[in-house]
């Protein structure tokens, strides 16, 4: 039997619903964690692909998306990158807030399918690339947003060093983080805090206080 295409897999295993903090945007989201995780393992076992992060709107991404929608001055007319985009929520919010262009970066090809479907669902266009660009310069980019990227030590270390280099080059860097273990605790300007309702299947509490930080140059 042939495997479903990534787009078919996303459609089949999700419903469309708004994330709790962003009622104005709908996404293809998992209703329950376990069945989707099992379906993903079954479908993707041979491909050795990662878990379906794209099927959830993580607290860090929700906080950044909320911030951009409430403060469109931060994004209007600017060239934006949503790094580690997952569902593409932040990219879609940036588009809605008037970004000149938006590039979503991911390393999971199923996330790319979800980003395309979610952008279309919300009537916006988002360019998406499946490539690990950590460490590369991002010429022509004004604003980089990263939602919930400090959950694993090796990744958080690489990402924060890179984001600081981008900040030093004049890029505005926003980080959304619900107090993950590996968030840097220095060189950050606090911009906002949101109470994000969460599922006990994913988090250890029903609400996560989530901060939006601007990363300062190193």
Ligand X SMILES: C[S@@+](CC[C@H](N)C(=O)[O-])C[C@H]1O[C@@H](n2cnc3c(N)ncnc32)[C@H](O)[C@@H]1O
- Selected from 7, 33, 39, 107, the binder of ligand X by CB under 6 A is 107
Candidate list 53, 162, 194, 213; residue touching ligand X; CB under 6 A:
53
According to the binding rule CB under 6 A, does residue 87 interact with ligand X? yes
Which range, of 31-39, 107-115, 194-202, 203-211, touches ligand X by CB under 6 A? 107-115
CA atoms of 23 and 14, how far apart (whole Å): 17
Site string for ligand X, 148-167 (x = CB under 6 A): xx-x---x------------
User: Quick one: 89 or 144, whose CB is closer to ligand X?
Assistant: 89
Q: Which is nearer to ligand X, 107 or 188 (CB)?
A: 107
Per-position x/- string for 125-144, each x denoting binding to ligand X as judged by CB under 6 A, each - no binding: -------x-x----------
Looking at beta carbons, which residue is closest to ligand X?
61
Q: Does 106 bind ligand X (CB under 6 A)?
A: yes
Tell me which residues touch ligand X (CB under 6 A): 50, 53-54, 57-58, 60-61, 84-87, 89, 105-108, 111, 132, 134, 147-149, 151, 155
């Amino acid at each position: 039997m042939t495997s479903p295409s990534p787009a078919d897999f996303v459609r089949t295993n999700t419903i469309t619903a708004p994330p709790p903090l962003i009622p104005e945007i709908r996404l293809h989201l998992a209703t329950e964690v376990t069945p989707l995780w099992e379906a993903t393992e079954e479908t993707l076992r041979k491909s050795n692909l990662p878990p379906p992060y794209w099927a959830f709107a993580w607290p860090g991404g929700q906080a950044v998306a909320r911030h951009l929608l409430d403060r469109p001055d931060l994004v209007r007319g600017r060239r934006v990158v949503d790094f580690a985009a997952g569902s593409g929520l932040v990219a879609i919010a940036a588009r809605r807030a008037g970004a000149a262009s938006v590039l979503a970066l991911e390393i999971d090809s199923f996330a790319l399918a979800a980003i395309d479907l979610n952008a279309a669902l919300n009537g916006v266009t988002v360019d998406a690339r499946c490539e690990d660009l950590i460490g590369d310069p991002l010429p022509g980019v004004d604003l980089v947003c990263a939602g919930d990227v400090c959950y694993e030590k090796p990744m958080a270390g690489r990402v924060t060093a890179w984001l600081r280099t981008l900040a030093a080059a004049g890029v505005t860097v926003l980080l959304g983080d619900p107090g993950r273990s590996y968030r840097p605790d220095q060189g950050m300007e606090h911009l906002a805090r949101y109470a994000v309702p969460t599922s006990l299947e994913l988090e250890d509490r029903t609400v996560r206080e989530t901060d939006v930080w601007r990363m300062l140059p190193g």
